Structure 1
């Protein structure tokens, strides 16, 4: 049992089983044992690789997407350029390099990064070649200029609640202790009420709900409606999902057992984009998509960008082609990862979402 596992086991022994959402939150953000507080998760030497770490093309094209939105809303003299969960800052660094080549784009102000890990904040400040202002949460961002925001693999790390249909109703999945004191999954004795299930369940079906993700999407929608601008969220999950158990732990680029690796493995769940879009639109924004990451990048010109990079450095052409395939192919990240655009009312249809549902 990990140090965090022992701490949670003691807590459960005293106060009873904990919801999955609390266990997930502690596993990722516990001040002493949380995964993002203590470990270097990114890259080949870490536990997983994100799209910005695969190729500079990803962040550059995200930057150009933001620039196109800025142009479509009248090229305002000031914007709030922000990212949720910036990792090592690679995406924003690449986006800024692309934005610096856009005539007139306002780069005089600081870049706003929402990050709770002090360790990652230091890495981001060194990676992003611009003044950085860190915030603990979305509410800390300025609201006096249009918001241009990106969130890549942010929502998948927000805690989820899980509910299992038993025939009597949806019972919340809890983490308790077995007779030997080990952590185990179980169910709350009484069914929960008021859950967003839209199709008839069968016994054993698992409903996942992210109150934290929905809250962020709602707040983001309200901000966009009030101050203008747009946001691009890229993550893995389904456009419309029914019932499934997607909670997973990843360590050293392989799946791991959730309860025996708490604090020492990344915990994520697939994003329900329909829930995010509904929350943002209810708060006043407009939602477009989701579309596949491969479709997004293709429409933004990743093929042409890859060709130019390969022509400039022929020796790197094989690795550029490999990165292109990993980012866009349906059997790689192209279909599993999706992009959702959230815009203020009146913002023209955002780039790449012309044929989005």
Structure 2
């Protein structure tokens, strides 16, 4: 592939396959090199960043309880399906399943977990965290037919429910489901658009003219094909006073699929991520060993991300779904009762070390990360006529 290339292509390649600069003054892709998410465990203290579920069990517990409450409010079917997009190590799904097993009298036994994951490395990690080791499965479980399009299967350690892995949300069975996307959309490739005197142009990645081993940003001379696609398909995006936009076509297509599923099958969706409500412009950055890192330096070695623009989700998808939020993660967790949960865990803790860990985890996800992360939820549009009676926890007082 020759440069300059869109930022989205650069980001996609850096996370899934590493771009390199050749001596022929071109941006090229070494197909033998795997990208950031495909070859390593990037989560936790030893990785490049840490997520709320990895910090404390309270996050997954409250999200699981929230899902049950919404499912009961909507009078969901007896089968309880959970779909997590980009499950990381699998910690969030594991903690949610623990909650479901505690409330088995409420949710019943017909539960399934579907994970959308493209990384073979991470899918194995998730299997280790969530599932019974394959060699310990009973023979009748081994003989069960796997779901179509699923590339990996297992059974939960906590309640024995079936767990299936998929490469794409479109492969997941269409049923009433609880969809969870935590720190998923911020990792999807974004197109960066800049307003100039001639109109909108796309920001591209090129090599530096004075150093053929380094990258730089440039502005396209003319409108790019992707810019025309976005303008034609999502004209509302350009009804803005901002001079810079970060738009993920991948995210918009996934949200189209998600809202269509809510419309056709019913369900619940919650998105929790770094984000803003249309108040920021340039948020493209990278993290390496928990520190900010130049996203154009050593691609494939760091997490490249951009904040989720929740105002775009509301603007485009409010016609198809009932959108609640965004609210800050701090507000969301406090409304769900994290302070009470912390008190109960502190009373049950056996040592001062455990208590200190609980307090530290609470501080990180409520105070430190609580204002930087935001939550938004999507429900079937038909519920709008009942909004006066339906108030969903976390998003309403």
Aligned 1:8-87 pairs, distance under 5 A: 11-12=1-2, 16-30=3-17, 32-87=33-88
- TM-score with structure 2 length normalisation? 0.80
Residue by residue, what CA displacement relative to the aligned partner does 1:146-204 show, whole Å, maximum 9, x if unpaired?
11111100000011000122222121111112223132111110145536233335xxx
Change (3 A) 1:109 1:99: closer
Residue aligning to 1:197:
238
Gaps of at least 5 residues in structure 2 are: 18-30, 132-155, 157-161, 384-389
Provide the C-alpha distance between the structure 2 equivalents of 1:139 and 1:280, rounded to a whole number of angstroms: 18
Does 2:368 match 1:336?
A: no
Please state whether the residue corresponding to 2:357 is helix, strand or coil.
Answer: helix
Secondary structure of 1:244's aligned partner:
coil
Contact 1:215 1:279 in 2 (8 A): no
Which string of whole-angstrom CA distances, capped at 9 and with x for unpartnered residues, describes residues 3-22 of structure 1? xxxxxxxx32xxx3100000
Residue 86 of structure 1 deviates from its aligned partner by 0.3
Distance 1:200 1:110, change over 3 A: closer
Distance in 2 (CA, whole Å) between partners of 1:286 and 1:340 is 11
Residue 96 of structure 2 corresponds to which residue in structure 1?
95
- Which of 102, 113, 116 is matched with 1:114 structurally? 116
Unpaired stretches in structure 1, ≥5 consecutive residues: 1-10
Q: Separation in 2 of the partners of 1:261 and 1:132?
A: 36
What's the counterpart of residue 175 of structure 1?
205
Alpha-carbon distance between aligned partners in 2 of 1:264 and 1:161, rounded to the nearest angstrom: 21
Asked if the contact 1:218–1:279 (Cα under 8 Å) also holds between the matched residues in 2, the reply is no
Q: Deviations over 1:84-131 (max 9, x none)?
A: 000000001001111111123144343100000011111111111413
Q: Report the secondary structure of 1:67's partner residue.
A: helix
* TM-score, normalisation: structure 1: 0.89
More strand by share: 2
Residue in 1 that maps onto 2:284? 247
- What is the 5 A alignment of 1:150-161? 150-161=180-191
Question: 2:311 & 2:50 partners in 1: Cα distance?
Answer: 26
Pair 1:261-2:298 in alignment = yes
CA distance in 2, matches of 1:157, 1:269: 7
Q: Give the structure 2 partner of residue 352 of structure 1.
A: 394
Task: Quote the residue 2:262 is aligned against.
Answer: 224
C-alpha deviations, 1:251-310, integer Å up to 9, x for none?
10001111112111000000011212333333x221100000011100111101111111
